[in-house]
């Protein structure tokens, strides 16, 4: 269900940002595992969980949108397209997440290379992993927040 007030919307954004920090820490921790691409698999798993959870929290999951009045659903989908919110109202597939992760390609490549430099490289890889995951999740949070702000006045 869409948030009822702008204050509740702000509170949801705060909760989601805390969730983003926790998931980014898990992603950074997976970077320490010395098996190549374990961190990428972990990132995909985390994103497959957190992106739908955030969308649902804002009332913007596919199932929720489909249950709204058709005028509101159309407004959400049109606004999402204008905002570039590609993951709002969609099922989160492995292919979609790989596309998102590819946009972070330089950081991921640097992270993989940095892992093999003793100590300093590991620290660098952890930092890249944390910041990349946080960036992807916060970007989705911002899209959901902006979209909910657009829709909120129309549903009352």
Whether residue 1 is contained in a domain is answered as no
Query: Looking at the predicted structure, is the pLDDT value of residue 109 above 60?
Result: no
Scored b (16 or more CB within 10 A) or e, 15-36 reads ebbebbeebbebbbebbeeeee
| 28/22: higher pLDDT | 22
Query: Looking at the predicted structure, is the pLDDT value of residue 91 above 60?
Result: yes
Whether residue 44 is contained in a domain is answered as yes
Distance CA 15, CA 137 (A): 12
**What does pLDDT average to over the chain?**
81
Q: What's the structural domain count of the chain? A: 1
Q: Which of 10-14, 29-33, 49-53, 147-151 has the lowest mean pLDDT?
A: 29-33
Distances (CA, A) of 137 to 5, 39, 140: 23, 16, 5
**Which residue bears the tokens 């003793």?**
118
Reported pTM? 0.81
Whether residue 123 is contained in a domain is answered as yes
Whether residue 142 is contained in a domain is answered as yes
Round the CA-based radius of gyration of the chain to a whole number and report it: 17
Whether residue 19 is contained in a domain is answered as yes
Whether residue 147 is contained in a domain is answered as yes
Res 10: pLDDT = 95
- Containing H/E element for 155? helix 120-155
Q: Which of 7-16, 80-89, 143-152 has the lowest mean pLDDT?
A: 80-89
Whether residue 156 is contained in a domain is answered as no
Q: What is the pLDDT of residues 53-72, one digit of tens each?
A: 999 999 998 898 889 889 98
Say if CB 25 and CB 130 are below 8 A apart.
yes
Domain that holds residue 82: 6-151
Whether residue 72 is contained in a domain is answered as yes
Query: Looking at the predicted structure, is the pLDDT value of residue 123 above 80?
Result: no
């Amino acid at each position: 269900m869409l948030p009822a007030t702008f204050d509740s919307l702000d509170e949801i954004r705060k909760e989601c940002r805390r969730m983003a920090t926790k998931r980014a820490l898990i992603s950074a921790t997976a970077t320490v595992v010395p098996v190549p691409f374990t961190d990428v698999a972990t990132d995909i798993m985390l994103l497959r969980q957190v992106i739908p959870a955030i969308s649902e929290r804002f009332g913007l999951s596919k199932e929720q949108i489909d249950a709204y009045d058709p005028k509101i659903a159309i407004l959400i989908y049109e606004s999402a397209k204008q905002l570039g919110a590609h993951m709002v109202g969609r099922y989160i597939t492995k292919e979609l997440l790989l596309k998102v992760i590819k946009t972070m390609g330089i950081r991921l490549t640097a992270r993989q290379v940095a892992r093999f430099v003793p100590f300093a490289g590991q620290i660098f890889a952890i930092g890249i992993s944390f910041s990349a995951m946080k960036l992807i999740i916060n970007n989705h949070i911002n899209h959901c927040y902006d979209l909910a702000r657009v829709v909120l006045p129309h549903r009352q």
